[in-house]
Amino acid sequence: MANIKSAKKRVVVSEKKALQNKSYKSAMKTTIKAFEAAVEAGDKEAAAAAYTKAVKKVDQAVSHGILKKNTASRKKSRFTRMLNGMN
């Protein structure tokens, strides 16, 4: 355990930030799963609506530092291919 006051504060702050990151990442995964479910169901309108939400969440994750830029780009590309692949 840390002895210095600033080190103790860093421990508290890092735990708090880790919890926030976990929460945000979970919400992002939920929206992605909703999009994938809409694609599997074949509902193009629902998939298009879920696509915009999923892309927005991924972009927000990048701005919050949860995901790297290239990872987000890859995910969005996959989403786009999934949506365009629907008949």
3-state secondary structure of 26: helix
Task: Kindly give the interhelix angle for 69-84 and 44-63, rounded to the nearest 10 degrees.
Answer: 180
What mean pLDDT is predicted for residues 73-78? 97
For position 70, what pLDDT does the model report?
98
Domains in the chain (CATH in brackets) are: 5-84 (1.20.58.110)
The pLDDT assigned to 1 comes to 73
C-alpha to C-alpha distance for 37 and 4, rounded to whole angstroms: 50
Q: Answer yes or no: is pLDDT of 86 > 90.
A: no
**Other beta carbons less than 10 A from residue 57's beta carbon:** 22
List pLDDT tens digits, range 11-57: 999 999 999 999 999 999 999 999 999 999 999 999 999 999 999 99
pTM of the predicted model, to two decimals?
Answer: 0.85
